[in-house]
Structure formats: C-alpha cells, structure tokens
Structure 1
C-alpha cells in the first residue's frame, strides 16, 4: 500500500498533508490542544521520527555493486524517501495521539 502511494510526488504530498491534518484535528478536538500547539507537537514528532526511520532498508552503493563514479561508495543506492515520508507520517500520527493523551496525566 505504501509503495503504491509513494509512486508520485503529488500523491505522496497529498497523503502526508491529509494524514497530518487529520492527526492534528483529532488531537485538537479530543485533547483540547490549540491548533498551533497540536501542529507544533506534530512537527517535532514528525522530524524526530524521520531521522529515526531514514536508516531502515538502506543499502549502500558498494553493497548493491553499483558505485556511481565520483560518488561516495557508502551513499544509498535507492534511498526511498517518499516511502519513508509516508511511514514517518503514519507513525507520527499515532505517536501524536498517544503523546497528547499522556501529557495531561503528567501535569504539563
């Protein structure tokens, strides 16, 4: 499913925007956060998880046996950034709802 959604730039962008807006809307309506607070929290979670998800499934050019002349052999052969953006968005939406639910319990 994620592979099919990530085939085009605009399709990927539309899914990321729609899921992000839905996650922020759920948090705003359910946990009484402001839109700015929900968006800021989502933004921080999304970027943090992006850097956690980036290394998954990476094969270097040296491992793939296709080193492009003039490039670093350790550079990714196929980074799959659109797929990773979608995975980051889906995971971030779930984490946002969990974090927004736990924040009131911590007294913050």
Structure 2
C-alpha cells in the first residue's frame, strides 16, 4: 500500500472519529450552571473545546488506521470472511432480469 493511500485513509478515519466524538463530554449551560445568552438554544454547549476534540480524534484515528493497515498487511479479515450469505446457488444467473412484457 502506498503512503499516499494510507494518508487518505487516515484522513477519512480522522473525520469519522471527529464526528463520532462530537457529542461526548458536552454539557449544556443548565448542566454547567452558567447563564445563557438571550436567544440561545437550550441544547447549545456551554463550552466548545476544539483542541481537545482534535486530540481525541487524532488518537482514535491513529488507532483505527493502524489496525486497518495491519489487517491489510497481515490479512486477518478478508472479503471472503465477510460473505455472510454463502455461495450463490448453482446455475443462478443474476444478470438476467425478468421484466414483464
């Protein structure tokens, strides 16, 4: 696998991790005991820490990308392992589509 492919996969894992981690650790103004700004939504976070979110997303993305690359090189899980329905029946031709006349 080329290093550019690994970098692209890491970027995808990073964005996925950032969106996955967004709701964790968020406290509303009511939960934090802080006064709200007039017109503010009740569900708005009291504080937003993008640095903490980026650090957590970086750690999670590094772990997931590392596992992905190791699986790619070691072949722990292959496409054949993910075939949940078994082989198609003998003689089945799925390219033919029966359409009403």
After TM superposition, the score normalised by the length of structure 2 is 0.66
Distance 1:61 1:48 in 2: 27
User: Does the alignment pair 1:49 with 2:20?
Assistant: no
Mark the structure with the bigger radius of gyration.
Answer: 2
Are the equivalent residues in 2 in contact too, given 1:42–1:92 (CA < 8 A)?
yes
Alpha-carbon RMSD across the aligned residues, in angstroms, is 1.6
Distance 2:7 2:59 in 1: 15
Q: CA deviation at 1:99?
A: 0.7
Gaps of 5+ in 2: 80-101
Structure 1 runs of 4+ aligned residues shifted over 6 Å read none
For these two proteins, the number of residue pairs brought into alignment is: 76
Distance 1:93 1:42 in 2: 7
Distance 2:72 2:27 in 1: 38
Higher relative contact order, structure no. (Cα contacts within 8 Å, ≥ 6 residues apart): 1
From the two aligned structures, give the one with the greater helix fraction: 1
Distance 2:66 2:52 in 1: 22
After TM superposition, the score normalised by the length of structure 1 is 0.62
